[in-house]
Amino acid sequence: MTHEFRIEDMTCGHCVSRVAKALHTFDPDAKVAIDLDGRRVTVDGSADRGDYAYAIRDAGYMAQ
C-alpha cells in the first residue's frame, strides 16, 4: 500500500537521510521516495500509515 506524507520541517539533505533511514529501519522492504523541494515522502510498503508516521516522528519530524 502506498502512503504519502507532508513533512514541513524536512528542510535539507540531512533531514532526507534521517527520514529515509527511519523508514527503512522500520520496514526494510519499503520503497521510499522523497521530494525535498515539495517536502513530501511517499512510502510503498506493507505496514499501516500510522506505523510509518510513527517512524517519521521518532526520527524527529512531523508527518502530516
Tens-level pLDDT at each residue, the chain (64 residues) = 999 999 999 999 999 999 999 999 999 999 999 999 999 999 999 999 999 999 999 999 999 9
* E-strand stretches of the chain: 2-6, 31-35, 40-44
| Residue type at 34 in one-letter notation | I
Indicate the pTM of the whole model.
0.92
- What is the pLDDT, as a whole number, of residue 42? 98
Q: Which residue has the cell 527503512?
A: 24
Q: Which residue has the cell 502512503?
A: 3
Q: Which residue has the cell 511517499?
A: 42
Beta strands across the sheet bearing 31-35: 2-6, 40-44, 31-35
Distance CA 25, CA 20 (A): 8
